[in-house]
Amino acid sequence: MTAAAQAIVRIGESPRTPVSIALLLLLPITLVDAVGFLAPIAYLLRMSFNEATGGGGLRETFTGQSYVAFLTDPFYLGLVGNSVAMSLLITGLTLLASYPIALFIYRAPAHWKSVLTIVCISPLLVSAVVRTYGWMLILGDQGLINATLRGLGIVSQPLRLINNATGVVIGLTEILMPYMILALLAGFGRLDRSYEEAAQSLGAPPFTTFRRVIVPLTVPGVALGCLLCFVLAISSFITPKLLGGGRVFLLATEIYDQAIVILNWPLAATMSIIVLMVFGLALVVYGRIVRALD
Amino acid sequence: MASPDSATLPAKPAGTPHLVLEGLGKHYGGVAAVESLDLSVQQGEFIALLGPSGCGKTTTLRMIAGLVDATAGRIVVGANDITYLPPYRRDFGLVFQNYALFPHMTVDQNVAFGLEMRRVPRDEVRRRVGQALELVRLADYGARRPRELSGGQQQRVALARALVIRPSILLLDEPLSNLDAKLREEMRTEIQDIQRRLGITTIFVTHDQIEALSMCDRVAVMQAGRLVQLGTPFDIYERPRNPFIADFVGRTNTLRGKVKASGSVEVGPLTMSAAESPGRGEAVLVMIRPHRITIRAPRSSEVDAQLNVVAGRVTRTMYVGDILQYDVDIGPSILHVEQPTAAGPQPFGRGDDVQLEWSARDTLVFRGGP
């Protein structure tokens, strides 16, 4: 027996060792997360209690001033409402656009399934910035849509599809679709053709079968996809910035402005913490849904 | 084993046919899964579609259910052509091989589903769901989820769900093949009882000849997309129309031979008598079921034209509890022989000289072979 093999046998003899091996294997990612994720969040939390002095100055202290400022200002509260509402809208539209595609892919023959999945997630190979610029070309006053509509004589004035909420919603919906499709496909595991056939044989027309059997069986995928897209939508920054043209005010863009333009880091940190709390709330809702299914 | 004289043939229900398949066919591209299938099922009849996997029996059932479109022929129920009627308007009860119980619903909700689709009033739904679950002896399981039930229980819920809508026809797609042997035997009797009690026209797809023979009034044997024999279980087993059926429905010894004279076949140096045979000189396959052969110590027998007597030597003995299986070398071939075990005599062992005897009636002769 070699020394290594003996060592393995010795490790195997101790009842505690499997746990220590697991801890050992978890150590690298724990360290990376601690340094790269937990520490910055702790720093952010600390920053949100600092005091901003005029002109971008910063004073180390411990004050709830930024929170008070945020929670008493109707503009900021409106931002939260706006961001949540718009993210919910985008999530809903992404779901509507992705569900039929995901269902189609799920039902496709095995050899088509992987091809179609790759086609659907291929937009992820292009950065969101580039895709956003693409949408600016399509949605702009001189863009593809307006040029076509005017060419056909359907409208005389260009439709305002950009530099407003419409543009942000359209752009983000498309950008988030690959994530939604992937999440739906992952959550469709319980779906089986025989359930639909059973429903039909029991007298359920196609739409009733969809409503009573297919939809309930796909709720896990829908919940997962919606959580993912909601979080991505509310934290997205580049797309609202570019397609909103500075006229759409959301938490993410406001954080950027506060941190980079106005240099009020405590307020920016406060808003970041608020966004984190919204995420936490979304997670709680998701957890409730998943538990209700079991 | 019952002799043909003593066996009673199950009575065929009289009356107008309930379900008629006329030249039914299903082609996938150029490949025929089912071809020009004609079948007429009587009201209340229990009929099996029997065949190996890929013979088209499930496709046929799915065409009857409306889950697969026929590419040729017609499906007629009573006076109505339902070939192109969508499945949700057919009013047939369907039980799947994997049961297909809705996992997000309780047993009660599963059984109630078909009634809700028919807009049956709530009280009546509750009453009929209760009755249906009682029928399958699961009255106390209504609040459970399908995954909390055993395979046999799920199977019975699937049956209750299909029956509660009082379907005109019950379609069973290999309903027993996911159950273990013991349970399968129980469910055979149970399904048969329920079918008899309700008198519901039933089509039962299976690849298991024992299920088909033991449960059904008539058996339709399918081979490569075609119906090759339709008859009572007795017909199918005792008078198979071709070697495939003889081999598929029950086990058999197959020997190659040549017809010497009417009712007499040459197999190598041996001559065997058969009840029926093709014309003189034809190459034939001779088939004898293992349990129809009697094995005994060599002795002189009276010459009887109706009895085949062949000497042989045992090459293998297997004791399987309820039966003894022997391989006996008879010269041109090795015959498998099965005898019920008895506490008395010692079984023959390897190398023993024995004498095999079987009736001419048990010698099935088919045209074919080199």
Chain segment B319-369, per-residue pLDDT in tens: 888 889 999 999 888 999 998 887 767 788 898 999 999 999 999 999 875
- Tell me the β-bridge partners of B42: B17
* pLDDT less than 50: residues of chain A: 1-2, 4-5, 7-9, 11-12
- Minimum-distance CB partner of A197 among B67, B101, B117: B67
Q: Are residues B258 and B187 in the same domain?
A: no
Mean pLDDT of chain B: 89
DSSP assignment of A158-223 equals PP--SSSHHHHHHHHHHHHHHHHHHHHHHHTTT--HHHHHHHHHTT--HHHHIIIIIHHHHHHHHH
Residue that terminates a domain, selected from B205, B226, B247: B247
Contact residues of A toward B, CB < 8 A: 190, 192, 194-195, 197-206, 208-209, 212-213, 216-217, 293
Contact residues of B toward A, CB < 8 A: 65-67, 86-94, 96, 98, 100-104, 113-114, 117-118, 161-162, 165, 171
Whether B1 maps to a domain, the answer reads: no
| Residue carrying the six token digits 């229900």 | B13
Whether B10 maps to a domain, the answer reads: no
**How far from the centroid of its chain's Cα atoms is residue B270's Cα?**
34
Using a CB-CB cut-off of 8 Å, the residues of chain A touching B94 are: 197-198, 201
- Minimum-distance CB partner of A197 among B100, B104, B118: B100
Contact A199 B118 (CB under 8 A): no
Q: Are residues B240 and B257 in the same domain?
A: no
Continuous segment of H or E residues that includes residue A288: helix A265-293
Using a CB-CB cut-off of 8 Å, the residues of chain A touching B93 are: 201
For residue B291, the 8-state DSSP code is G
Amino acid at A30: T
Q: Are residues B233 and B118 in the same domain?
A: yes
- For residue B15, the model assigns a pLDDT of 65
Among A106, A89, A107, A102, which Cα is nearest to A181's?
A: A102
Contact B88 A198 (CB under 8 A): no
- For residue B95, the model assigns a pLDDT of 95
Neighbours of B325 (CB within 10 A): 16
Query: Residue A217: closest CA among chain B residues belongs to which residue?
Result: B104
- Minimum-distance CB partner of A217 among B67, B104, B165: B104
Dihedral sign of CA atoms B300, B302, B305, B307 in order: negative
CA distance B172 to chain A (A): 12
| Residue carrying the six token digits 């299938």 | B37
For residue A51, the SS3 value is: strand
CA distance B235 to chain A (A): 33
What is the mean predicted confidence (pLDDT) over B58-75? 95
Using a CB-CB cut-off of 8 Å, the residues of chain B touching A195 are: 100, 102-103
**B59, B111, B113: which to substitute to probe chain A, counting the most A Cβ within 10 Å?**
B113
Query: How many A×B Cβ pairs under 8 Å?
Result: 69
| Residue carrying the six token digits 């039962």 | B204
Q: Are residues B143 and B284 in the same domain?
A: no
Among B80, B63, B52, which Cα is nearest to B25's?
A: B63
Using a CB-CB cut-off of 8 Å, the residues of chain B touching A199 are: 102, 113
- For residue A294, the model assigns a pLDDT of 67
Contact A212 B113 (CB under 8 A): yes
Q: At what angle do helices A165-187 and A110-121 cross, to 10 degrees?
A: 150
Q: Are residues B229 and B103 in the same domain?
A: yes
CA distance B252 to B286: 10
Q: Are residues B241 and B255 in the same domain?
A: no
Using a CB-CB cut-off of 8 Å, the residues of chain A touching B96 are: 194, 197-198
- For residue B303, the model assigns a pLDDT of 73
> Of residues B216 and A293, which shows the higher confidence score?
B216
Whether B12 maps to a domain, the answer reads: no
Rg (CA), chain A: 25
Q: Do B83 and B32 meet the contact criterion of CB atoms below 8 Å apart?
A: no
CA distance B103 to chain A (A): 8
CA distance B40 to B20: 4
Amino acid at B257: G
Tokens of B160: 């209750």
Q: Give the global pTM.
A: 0.82
Using a CB-CB cut-off of 8 Å, the residues of chain A touching B161 are: 198, 202
Q: Are residues B150 and B108 in the same domain?
A: yes
CA distance B74 to chain A (A): 19
Of these ranges, A7-11, B30-34, B47-51, the one predicted with the greatest mean pLDDT is B47-51
Q: Are residues B170 and B276 in the same domain?
A: no
Q: Has the ipTM of the complex gone over 0.85?
A: no
Q: Are residues B83 and B188 in the same domain?
A: yes
Angle at B90 (CA atoms; ends B88, B96), nearest 5 degrees? 75
For residue B311, the 8-state DSSP code is E
Whether B302 maps to a domain, the answer reads: yes
% of chain B beyond a pLDDT of 90: 67
CA distance A189 to chain B (A): 12
Domains of chain A, CATH where assigned: 1-43 (no CATH), 73-293 (1.10.3720.10)
Number of helices (H), then strands (E), in chain A: 15, 2
Dihedral sign of CA atoms B76, B78, B79, B80 in order: negative
Q: Are residues B119 and B202 in the same domain?
A: yes
Contact B94 A197 (CB under 8 A): yes
Angle at B339 (CA atoms; ends B311, B5), nearest 5 degrees? 95
Q: Are residues B46 and B139 in the same domain?
A: yes
Q: Are residues B280 and B266 in the same domain?
A: yes
Residue that terminates a domain, selected from B231, B247, B263: B247
C-alpha distances (whole Å) from A209 to each of A201, A204, A221, B167, B256 are 10, 6, 18, 19, 56
- pLDDT over 80 at B3, yes or no: no
CA distance A219 to chain B (A): 10
CA distance A213 to B104: 8
Whether B128 maps to a domain, the answer reads: yes
C-alpha distances (whole Å) from A224 to each of A73, A107, A290 are 33, 20, 9
Q: Which residue segment(s) compose the domain that B274 sits in? A: 251-367
CATH number where B233 lies = 3.40.50.300
For residue B145, the 8-state DSSP code is -
Q: Do B41 and B203 meet the contact criterion of CB atoms below 8 Å apart?
A: yes
Contact B100 A293 (CB under 8 A): no
Dihedral sign of CA atoms B191, B193, B195, B198 in order: negative
CA distance B144 to chain A (A): 13
For residue B139, the SS3 value is: helix
Q: CB neighbours of B287 closer than 8 A, spacing ≥ 6?
A: B243, B246, B247, B252, B253, B254, B255, B363, B364, B365, B366
- Minimum-distance CB partner of A194 among B66, B88, B98: B98
- For residue B261, the model assigns a pLDDT of 85
Neighbours of A172 (CB within 10 A): 27
- Tell me the β-bridge partners of B229: B221
CA distance B292 to B289: 6
CA distance A91 to chain B (A): 25
- For residue B11, the model assigns a pLDDT of 46
CATH number where B271 lies = 2.40.50.100
- Minimum-distance CB partner of B165 among A199, A200, A202: A202
Residue that terminates a domain, selected from B195, B225, B247: B247
- For residue A15, the model assigns a pLDDT of 55
Amino acid at A221: G
CA distance A39 to A33: 8
Query: How would residue B16 be classed by pLDDT, with cut points 50, 70 and 90?
Result: confident
- Minimum-distance CB partner of A201 among B87, B101, B103: B87
**B68, B104, B118: which to substitute to probe chain A, counting the most A Cβ within 10 Å?**
B104
Tell me the pairing of strands B363-367 and B169-173.
unpaired
Contact A202 B96 (CB under 8 A): no
What is the mean predicted confidence (pLDDT) over B212-238? 94
Q: How many domains does chain B have?
A: 2
Q: Do B265 and B283 meet the contact criterion of CB atoms below 8 Å apart?
A: no
